[in-house]
């Protein structure tokens, strides 16, 4: 019975933190370090993510 309590404690208390830590490490490894707050608008325009259309833009 004591073994079940320790497994339940691990699953409910430590496993979410472990999953979050692994996800953060994966995110930081795959993050583009050349994108900064200052270059975000230029990056969005180059990638085609800007929502502002020019004067000759379509619908």
Q: What is the mean pLDDT of residues 33-47?
A: 84
Q: What pLDDT band is residue 33 in, cutting at 50, 70 and 90?
A: confident
Q: Binning pLDDT at 50, 70 and 90, where does residue 17 land?
A: very high
Half-sphere exposure in the Cβ direction for 42 (13 Å, CA): 6
Mean pLDDT along residues 42-49: 86
Mean pLDDT of 25-54: 83
Domain ranges of the chain: 1-29
Is pTM beyond 0.95 here? no
∠47-30-12 over CA atoms, to 5°? Answer: 125
Measuring CA to CA, how many Å separate 8 from each of 1, 12, 13, 17, 22?
11, 6, 8, 14, 21
């Amino acid at each position: 019975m004591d073994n079940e309590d320790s497994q339940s404690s691990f699953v409910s208390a430590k496993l979410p933190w472990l999953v979050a830590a692994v996800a953060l490490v994966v995110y930081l490894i795959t993050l583009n370090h050349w994108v900064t707050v200052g270059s975000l608008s230029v990056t969005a325009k180059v990638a085609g993510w800007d929502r502002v259309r020019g004067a000759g833009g379509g619908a």
